[in-house]
Amino acid sequence: MRTETATDVSHASRRSRRRTLSYLAFYVVMTVLAVPFVFPTWWMITSSFKPITEIFAFPPTLVPANPTIQPFVDVFALQPFAQQYWNSAYVSIVVTIGTMLVSSLAGYAFARIQFPGANAIFLVVLVGLLIPSEVTIVPLFQMFNGLGLIDTHWPIILVSTFGAPSVLTTFIMRQFFLALPVELEEAARLDGLNRFSIWWRIALPLARPALAAVAIFSFLHVWNLYLEPTVYLQSNELFTLPVALTRFTDAYGGALWNVQLAAATMTAVPVLLVFIVAQRQFVEGLAHTGLKG
């Protein structure tokens, strides 16, 4: 109706109303799309505060009707969960630091130092990118079995730090150093600094963004490993979190959902909080390393 009185003012107001509508539509669509991304985390956290009688209540309760922290207490009673938490934490940290060293050393050398066979060795190392760790799990198990290292954390630490998983991060470090201007290092060289000092005192501090990406990638990689600990570990006290999470069952093998979800909450929420604080580094780091192929 109003269109017939086509003055400039009504044009403008119609346009702004249409824009408000399209804004509204955008937010409604986005919110609906967000549900499957947010709801599972919400459901995980809230359900871990529910007593077992409420777990399958009908209709489902979005907020616990009778909140309890009993499931969290049970987590520690049923499994050596503090020990398992520590296992995951220390294995992840050791591998993360190890990978940062191994990858920045190799990446720096491949980018900066000329030595016979560098290209050939680089190509061979890149083979690690081509081979899913699942392909080599059988012989690796046998090798570590022969060394008596089954049911220790060594296979996870050694393979993750030096094996195929660190090839991607080495590649990232190499690309970063290739893009980095070389003048500063050449100046340091003329001043008599040796290669190791140049790497440690000049190249590494400049490589902080790449190192952050490498750290985030390798920490999450190890923190989430499932097949490897399933294969290499046998005792409860040595399990890492992903394996431990699957072991919360009653005497008949039925899942103790609220306890399991409480353990899952304790596993996922700290990482999620760090992510919320350092989103930009996470997104850039993982998108960077996501360029795997």
Residue 169: CB minimum distance to other proteins, A: 10
Measured from the CB atom, is 21 or 131 closer to other proteins? 131
Distance CA 289, CA 293 (A): 10
Which residue in the set 13, 16, 142, 249 belongs to the binding site for other proteins (CB under 8 A)?
142
Map the footprint of other proteins across residues 46-85, applying CB under 8 A. 47, 56, 58-60
Single residue of 4, 7, 8, 30 touching other proteins by CB under 8 A: 30
Q: Which of 72, 76, 141, 200 binds other proteins (CB under 8 A)?
A: 141
Looking at residues 233 to 292 of the shown chain, list those that interact with other proteins (rule: CB under 8 A): 241-243, 245-246, 255, 257, 260-261, 264-265, 267-268, 271-272, 275-276, 279, 282-283, 286-287, 290-292
Residue 225 has a CB neighbour count (10 Å cut-off) of: 24
Q: Which ranges of 137-224 would DSSP assign to H, the alpha helix?
A: 137-146, 154-162, 165-179, 183-190, 195-197, 204-206, 208-224
CB 89, CB 97: distance < 8 Å: no
DSSP state letter for 109: H
The least CB distance from residue 9 to other proteins, in Å, is: 25
Token pair listed for 111: 């980018």
DSSP tag of 2: G
Question: What type of residue is 250?
Answer: D
Q: Is 230 in the site for other proteins (CB under 8 A)?
A: yes
With contacts defined by CB under 8 A, name the span among 64-72, 75-83, 175-183, 191-199 that binds other proteins. 191-199
Q: Which of 125, 157, 193, 202: binder of other proteins (CB under 8 A)?
A: 125
Select from 6-14, 67-75, 77-85, 131-139 the region that touches other proteins (CB under 8 A).
Answer: 131-139
CB 182 within 8 A of CB 233: no
Q: How far apart are CA 207 and CA 107, in angstroms?
A: 11
Kindly state the number of chain residues that form the binding site for other proteins, as judged by CB under 8 A.
97
Residue from 91, 77, 136 nearest 263 by CA: 77
118 lies in the binding site for other proteins (CB under 8 A)? yes
DSSP state of 69: S
Stretch that binds other proteins, among 71-79, 123-131, 179-187, 207-215 (CB under 8 A): 123-131
Minimal distance in Å, beta carbon 291 to other proteins?
7
Structure tokens at 174: 């190499």
